[in-house]
Amino acid sequence: MSTGRQKVVGWSALLVLLAVGTGLRCWAVGADPFWDDEAESSINAQAILDHGLPTDHFLGQPVYENIMLRPWPGHAEYEFKDLSYSARGVTVYHGWLPLYTIAGSMALFGQGPDHLTDSLKPQHTVDSVRRRTVVPRLPAVVFGLVFMVLMFVLGRHMGGPAAGWAALMYAAVAKKNVYYGSQARYYSLTLVCIAGCGWALWRILRHGRWRDYLVGSVMVVLLFHTHAASCFAMCLVGGLTLPWQRRHERVWTKIGASLLIVMAGTLPWVWWTGYISNMHGTPLAWRMPGFLDVVIKYPTHRPVELGLFVIGLTVAALASAFTGRMPRRLVESFGVRRGAYTLLSVWAGVMFLVFIWCIPAASFFFTRLSLMIAVPCMLLGAMIVSGAACMVSQRWASVVAPGAVLVILLSTGRVLPDSSASNTSDRFEPIRTVLAYLEDADLPQDTRLYATPNWHLIVTYYTGLPIQNIAPIRKTYLDNYPGPIVLLRKERFVPPVDWREIRSLAESAGAALTPDQARDWSERLSSLVQRSELAAQVARVSPPADEPIPPYLQPTAARQRQRTDRFRELMRWHTSSTLMFRGNNARTSMDWWQTYHYKFVDPDSRSGANANFADRFRSALAVPLPRGRCIVYHCPALKPATNPGGGG
């Protein structure tokens, strides 16, 4: 094949892979509604549109995103302040750069910030849900495209052409990368900045030119304002390479200039926001019981990657150490890249250590560790696969390597996102159901709206209503607030029985049900367990917990109860493996948020019958919304105190 034709084929393949990766991300941005953290970022972005800064208030009330830890003495309503905001009233728990990109997308597409109105009707309709989901996610798609290009370039520079194609394939189609590139969060931009820092560091080590150091310092500043822990880790990696940088001309002058740029781009923000003082006292993960047990289990959750790395690094080390005794093709495939293997191994190791020793307990989830180590680990995997491909065929390595990556991803089920096309249910139905319910509720203007954390962020974003987190509210305030109170409690109901099956059972028993009646029974059966539990906690449940169930549906009802028990046990098992839930029996959604958000303020004294809303809500009407995946508590206004002595 001629050189010109090779270039055409290469460019065509590059564009196809970039188009496929971008297409997967575009499909994913509209597949699911927001989860908690995306709503949080989008509320911060709306605050930017309103005030120019990600402030700690939205719709006239404090924003709560984090665990309860910092007391708020003297405040009549709130017992705690939020950890995510400093004394300056701005967010410091997350980087600002992703928030500004989300705000920019909102502004570009005409989505302005919400403001308080004279009505408690939702400000947004059910038809706006998907658009309000897609717009804040679009920056992640753009950053995902940049990330794919960077991985291709970085892979080629560090491991050769075949490694570049393998890295691009992984970056384009792997499920976790599609996920990172379709979320209204910091994930996609973090990957771009980490890859950019790695690319600059590699060029510094290879060439050490002024422009390499300047690009590196700018990327570090951008990474700091995106994900501070990753920035700290990349600075450590750069520091460990200083002995290899000393061979460059005027190296200390270049390093000094880079440090000045980094300090100028970070220290003013650190000082003005109160970042350091705000982080003081935040519980770190490594101080918690069971920390080492949880950390040791992480590699076992990644058996494919672990096997590839152990085999590949072992072969690379042997090929490098015993160059004269190893087959020439083995040395050419692995041994000549020992510098890249060393850098990537140190890079991944430092990222791992920084995460486990510096990340707060509330953020200690391995999905976040995977984000930090993703770039070096993908590059290591790409180099290992490309090395094996070069041993098979030097000529076709650039085809074999990405093909092998695709086979590995397909065989381990890591290509399509979790929202697979096989699931035909409307994933936006829960949000639309809650919106429709609140639209019809006709709530009095003095109603206080609450929701369980962090469900309150989602319903606030989609409704435009001031729905506050129930966790930081003082019990005395709830007990004595004179007006009505409404609480939206996030709940996990078992999937409903197909209404057609219910109708068929009725027909077999000689009863006739309309489609609407069958759908109604489908929903009622999903909430049987929850309604039975609610009956002892509130004044009334609708539908009632003791409603008679037709004999032909009783076996189905029994199965639904069993499914609920199995689901709760699975939830308990799943959460018990994470650090924040070790030693806790969190089986329900209520258990989950009370354990997590009250972890460091005596959760037992704030849960169950001791919950801040428990006494006030004994007079409430509870309405399960299975299609809305929540339970709505309507607590009436307090009755005026009577005067036993009569008037006058």
Share of the chain above pLDDT 90, in %: 67
Name the more confident of 102 and 365: 102
Say yes or no to pLDDT of 419 above 60: no
Residue 45's alpha-carbon distances to 13, 146, 224, 572, in angstroms, are 37, 22, 18, 34
The count of other CB atoms within 10 Å of the CB of residue 578 is 15
- The whole-number pLDDT of residue 273 equals 93
> Is the CB of residue 48 less than 8 Å from the CB of residue 99?
yes
Listed residue (257, 75, 81, 98) closest to 181, CA to CA:
98
Say yes or no to pLDDT of 25 above 80: yes
pLDDT category, 417, cuts 50, 70, 90?
low
Q: What is the pLDDT of residues 546-566, one digit of tens each?
A: 889 999 999 999 999 999 999
Say yes or no to pLDDT of 139 above 90: yes
Say yes or no to pLDDT of 578 above 90: no
Rounded distance, CA 418 to CA 440, Å? 33
H-helix or E-strand spanning residue 50: helix 36-51
- pTM of the predicted protein model: 0.92
- The whole-number pLDDT of residue 574 equals 77
Of 259-268, 391-400, 457-466, 533-542, the range with the lowest mean pLDDT is: 391-400
Count Cα neighbours of 194 within 13 Å in the Cβ-side half-sphere: 31
SS3 for 590-643 is: HHHHHHHHCCCCCHHHHCHHHCCCCCHHHHCEEEEEHHHCEEEEEECCCCCCCC
Name the more confident of 617 and 292: 617
What is the residue whose two structure tokens read 């400093």? 86
Question: Tokens representing 621?
Answer: 């009407």
Q: What is the pLDDT of residues 261-319, one digit of tens each?
A: 999 999 999 999 998 887 777 888 888 888 888 888 777 766 666 666 676 667 667 66
Rounded distance, CA 507 to CA 80, Å? 56
Which amino acid is located at 298 in the chain? Y
Instruction: Please name the residues in contact with 586: beta carbons below 8 A apart, sequence gap of 6 or more.
Output: 571, 572, 575, 576, 592, 595
Listed residue (248, 253, 243, 267) closest to 209, CA to CA:
248
- The whole-number pLDDT of residue 146 equals 97
- The whole-number pLDDT of residue 647 equals 44
